[in-house]
Amino acid sequence: MHFLVLGASAGGGLPQWNCGCRNCVDASNGVIPPSGQSSLAVSPDGERWSILNASPDIRQQMLDNLQLHPRALRDTPVASVLLTNGDIDHIAGLLSLREQTPFTLFATKDIQEVLSENRIFDAVNREKVDRQDIALGQDFTLQKGLQARLFAVPGKVPLFMEGDTVQTDLIGGQTVGVRLTTGDKVAYYIPGCAQVTEALLDQIADADQLFFDGTLWDDNEMIRTGTGIKTGQRMGHISVSGPEGSIAQLQGIRAAKTFIHINNTNPMLQPDGPERAFVENAGWTIACDGQEITI
């Protein structure tokens, strides 16, 4: 399997248009690399690609990566798009893929309903783009030579669908992870996850490669940096650090491990910082735009 990181950041990207935090300033000044909003491309052969989450930056991400350029007058090497939740930073890019070129759109029924209930997504012509509902635990062909399976991970409904009371550890079709296999290798893509459960540990035990939610370093990061009022848990994201964080909870997983969907405030983005050293010493890598991984 071949992986191409199209966007390593969480919603807003790096730098975020209205943010003057240290990381955003450094990204604007070329001190650290900028990155687009979360999206990952996968291919069984390096020729035909499937996009996991269509970020608002998808047009520029496709322009920046030659692997996704058209090879004929009206053409795309993208065979399919798969969505892991209905967040804006994972679905808005569909509107940039509306120019009448066929591909298959895979998602759970819950996520497909988010699109159906928002009429703007009717611009993605159903006669050209086949929308397929995928049940949890069902093996399906993401494209020829590449099998996938969706499974529930703890999460919440999209921000724009929240009501007065928000449950952030929902288990169902609204937030999913993806198991990918070509038959001999297995990878997992989990860009949003509120906690590591025993069920999740059992699910990913066969991983050769794991892409996992790296949104926040700690639960109070947004509050501490003055960039928000919500904790990571309230946002539906597990922290990277701490005894209940992903590094500690996933230390028994022997796969190659990569953090993706990283918020612009996360201190592990600083190349010489102690947080990055901690991550790397724990055996993790931090995704960056344009990164290629083959297993």
Reported as a single tens digit per residue, the pLDDT across 181-201 is 999 999 999 999 999 999 999
Residue 219 has pLDDT above 80, yes or no: yes
DSSP states along 181-240 = ESSS-EEEEES--S---HHHHHHGGG-SEEEEE--BSSTTHHHHTTS-S--HHHHT--BS
Q: Each residue of 254-291: pLDDT tens digit?
A: 999 999 999 999 999 999 999 999 999 999 999 999 99
pLDDT in tens, 96-125: 999 999 999 999 999 999 999 999 999 999
Which pLDDT score, from 0 to 100, does residue 259 have?
A: 98
3-state secondary structure of 161: helix
CB hemisphere CA count around 292 (13 angstroms) = 7
Confidence of residue 159 (pLDDT cuts 50, 70, 90): confident
pLDDT over 80 at 162, yes or no: no
Q: In what order do the strands lie in the sheet with 103-107?
A: 129-133, 103-107, 78-82, 49-52, 39-43, 2-7, 292-294
Per-residue pLDDT, 64: 97
Average pLDDT, the chain: 96
Is the confidence at residue 160, as pLDDT, over 90? no
Query: What's the confidence (pLDDT) of residue 157?
Result: 79
pLDDT of 167 above 90:
no
**Residue 41 pLDDT:** 98
Mean pLDDT for 38-50 is: 98
Of the candidates 94, 87, 63, the residue with the CA atom closest to the CA atom of residue 289 = 63
In this predicted structure, the answer to whether residue 164 has a pLDDT above a threshold of 80 is no
Measured CA to CA in angstroms, residue 4 lies from 8, 117, 134 at distances of 10, 31, 24
Q: What domains are defined for the chain?
A: 2-294 (3.60.15.10)
What value does the mean pLDDT take over residues 133-151? 98
CA distance 59 to 136: 29
Q: What angle do CA 82, 83, 88 make, to 5 degrees?
A: 140
